[in-house]
A and B are shown apart, each in its own frame.
Chain A
Amino acid sequence: MIFNSLEYILFLPLVFVLFYLFRHKIRVFILLVASYYFYISWNPVFIILILLSTLIDYGAGLSLERTTSKSTRLLILGISICANLGFLFFFKYFNFALENVNEIMLAVKGSYQPIEAWDIILPVGISFYTFQTMSYTIDVYNGKTKAEKNLSYFALYVCFFPQLVAGPIERYNSLMPQLKEKAQLVIQNISHGGRLILYGFFMKMVIADNLGVFVDSVYGDIAGTSSLNLLIGSVFYSFQIYCDFHGYTTIAIGSAKLFNVNLSENFRTPYLSTSVTDFWRNWHITLTTWFRDYIYYPLGGNRSTVLKWVLAILTVFIVSGVWHGAKWTFILWGLFHALFVLFEKVVKWDKQGSNIFLKGIKWAVTFTLITALWVFFRSPDMDTAILYFKSIGSNWNIEGIDLRIEPFILLGLFVVLDICTRKKNFALSLNKIPSIGRGAIYFVLIFLLLSRSGTDTNPFIYFQF
């Protein structure tokens, strides 16, 4: 089941009604059953993975708390991390590793019978819930949190349906107290959640899916597309992926709000950033902070030697690239981001100039870099990415393909909304507007959602990660 489906539109109110019909002690089971059903409806087999991951980390948490021996604790942590990363490696990276082993063997031996790739389906959401459960075990190990004794609540922490398949990646200390708290049926929560769900659907179905049509057509024939359209295509993709993922997250936050749960914000107008470093403070925040807390800081962060710091930055961004997918394009995407972040630190980019003109230039440079790097992210392989950049430089003689005005208008509307909601989210921003204005905004958004939603691209981009 995906958010932008009729099933979810029916499923969510049903779970909502059931949740508030029953008393507090039963609610955990309602959410648990609903979450498992939500996942099973995509592929029943992979629920086994979630159950395994749940049991391993639940057991690891309890064992860590009961053991004082350092070596045993380290062993327990190691088992938990190896199990989680093992699942992730097998489903996500096994074929990529195999492919590279084949390449290496071929280069070394000259003639070599390559090992065939396995037919492995990537379970939806594995990268997200694996990171979430790993953060719990690491936090218990570090004494930052106590182990959860109630298996039902722990299972719900792992699989809470609004954020199960694509985050936000929640920390135990943030999510669990909310899951355990007795939720009251509050009108403000319904209104707040409803507004976010509407805005999320608008971003995904109206903006991302419409821009996606043009982006797909450009990537479908790069060599035959004019430079201008390639440039437009890359800008459109920047907004497609933003609206797609931000849309998903907003629906997730809105859905969770209905159950009195506040999920973490994942985006803060990232395209207004004036540096790549700043971009990463505002883009996919829960993943960035995960990397910061569990990789960057343990590697020394910025409080160690310059070499260690450089290595820490490179590691974080390359791991971030690999996290997105088992392809060299993602690795290169991560590496370039790392290099830009390092460059900014060296030239003290953030401290250069504070007047509006300089800020404008810094914004333009940052947006251009981010947009250019999305080409690696969107391209299925390196050859495609290289062809894209080459074609931008060489296809000026090709006539531009027909482009409708509608996507530009919709994108313009979104940019205005995004800027207006940069300080407070959409739901809270609406509170400041008189009811007639709110009604007008609802009317426009709902009308656009019903009438202008895209019809060709559907799955959320981040589901593949």
Chain B
Amino acid sequence: MKIVKYIAIRIVLAAVFLFSMNLLYRYTFWKEDVKQHGDVLENLWGVDIHSDAIYFGESSNFHMQEGDSIKHRISFALDSLLPSISIATVDNAGLHAGTYLSLVKNIPSEMKLKFIVVTLNYRSFAANWRYAPFENYLSKSELMLSPSFPLVNKFLISLKQYDYKTEEERNAQMKLAWKNEKFTIPNFDYDNVIEWDSAVAWHTWLDVNPNLTEENLSLASHYIKNFAFNIDTVYNERIEDLNAIVAIANDKGYKLIFNLLGENAIEAEKLVGKELLYLMENNRSLLVNYYTNKGVIMVDNFYQIPDSCFVDRNWPTEHYNYQGKKIVAENIKKAIETNGLHY
């Protein structure tokens, strides 16, 4: 009995201690720690509470081309295209559905949002993004932003209680996915990314594809690793996160817009071939149909961005020049107007 009393008193004291420590932390180190471990939340804190909508994006939103005369984000272009509503921006490099989910959970309850725009990057569904080393940081951010006691979140980060993996472990995960996630391309020799990429790497395709040269061979390889996959709506982590975003939006009454970014399909076909385009098209239509059926407004920019608008030429990205950004902004604007969200 004595020991039960001893432990009970200490548990109560510990609870009081922890509660006051949490308060102390909230007003001392927390903001600095958020800057360090979850800086994307700072962006969310910075949004005007009276905004009508929030645009969630990654580097496609803010990456500029050097020669651009207008250096605007997609979200700023959209905001200026719709003067009747104010659209706030929350963006950071490398964000994806998982991080957007944490951000959406943290939207201040006092905000009266009409809709939110969530950027859907096709490549974020691929294994080399899902298992990229950068995931450690994003996963850490997600924990930092999770709606629990900030002090507990910080301690859990110190204990690495997030999806922390070493670079070797991430690479192993990636390679396993490349091997195990099979394609469904009719009459095609290669079953998975490893096989397809090896065939390209071993130069056998140099003789087959006249567009391939020694110089752009590695780019072709990047296209395969980034674009060749089948989205599995049951097992793909991104789908799970996006579904959770849909559920939150429904719960909070926001209209949800998924902004599927444009990809350089011309370059993909030129370097790798129609089989890659086949996979891309399958995934595009799956995403559009899947989320349209869930009541999400899908803005489909997939084939809308001309080759000349892509800024990076040695790596497949969704970094567009201003003309490309404007196309995306106009497509979102159309969707907003069509659905009567601009009043």
Q: Which residues of A contact B24 (CB under 8 A)?
A: 447
Q: Which residues of A contact B17 (CB under 8 A)?
A: 442-443, 446
Q: Which of A187, A190, A442, A451 has the most CB of B within 10 A?
A: A451
Cβ A6 vs Cβ B161 within 8 A:
yes
Q: How distant is the Cα of A9 from the Cα of B156 in the complex, in angstroms?
A: 12
Cβ of A403 to closest chain B Cβ, rounded Å: 16
Cβ A187 vs Cβ B157 within 8 A:
no
Interface assignment of B265: CB less than 8 Å from any CB of chain A: no
Q: Mark B152-191, 1 if CB is under 8 A from A, else 0.
A: 1011111111000000000000000000000000000000
Q: How distant is the Cα of A455 from the Cα of B28 in the complex, in angstroms?
A: 18
Cβ B2 vs Cβ A451 within 8 A:
no
Interface assignment of B343: CB less than 8 Å from any CB of chain A: no
Chain B residue with the shortest CB-CB distance to A4: B159
Q: Which residues of A contact B160 (CB under 8 A)?
A: 5, 458
Cβ B151 vs Cβ A450 within 8 A:
yes
Cβ A450 vs Cβ B154 within 8 A:
yes
Q: How distant is the Cα of A442 from the Cα of B25 in the complex, in angstroms?
A: 16
Cβ A5 vs Cβ B29 within 8 A:
no
List CB contacts (< 8 Å) of A426-453 with chain B.
439, 442-443, 446-447, 449-453
Interface assignment of A59: CB less than 8 Å from any CB of chain B: no
Chain A residue with the shortest CB-CB distance to B154: A451
Counting residue pairs across A and B whose Cβ atoms lie within 8 Å, the total is: 50
Chain A residue with the shortest CB-CB distance to B7: A190
Q: How distant is the Cα of A455 from the Cα of B34 in the complex, in angstroms?
A: 13
Interface assignment of B6: CB less than 8 Å from any CB of chain A: yes
**Residue among B13, B33, B158 making CB contact with A205, cutoff 8 Å:** B158
Q: How distant is the Cα of A439 from the Cα of B9 in the complex, in angstroms?
A: 13
Cβ of A204 to closest chain B Cβ, rounded Å: 10
Cβ B37 vs Cβ A455 within 8 A:
yes
**Residue among A5, A190, A450 making CB contact with B21, cutoff 8 Å:** A450
Cβ B21 vs Cβ A452 within 8 A:
no
Cβ A450 vs Cβ B25 within 8 A:
yes
List CB contacts (< 8 Å) of B1-59 with chain A.
2-3, 6, 13, 17, 21, 24-25, 28-29, 33, 37
Cβ A451 vs Cβ B29 within 8 A:
yes
Cβ A452 vs Cβ B29 within 8 A:
yes
Q: Which residues of B contact A454 (CB under 8 A)?
A: 158
Q: Which residues of A contact B152 (CB under 8 A)?
A: 450
Q: Which residues of B contact A190 (CB under 8 A)?
A: 6
Binding site for B on A (CB under 8 A): 4-6, 9, 185, 187, 190, 205, 209, 439, 442-443, 446-447, 449-455, 458
27 contacts between A and B (CB under 8 A): A4-B158, A5-B159, A5-B160, A6-B156, A6-B161, A187-B6, A190-B6, A439-B13, A442-B17, A443-B17, A446-B21, A447-B24, A449-B155, A450-B25, A450-B151, A450-B155, A451-B21, A451-B25, A451-B28, A451-B29, A451-B33, A451-B151, A453-B155, A453-B159, A454-B158, A455-B37, A458-B160
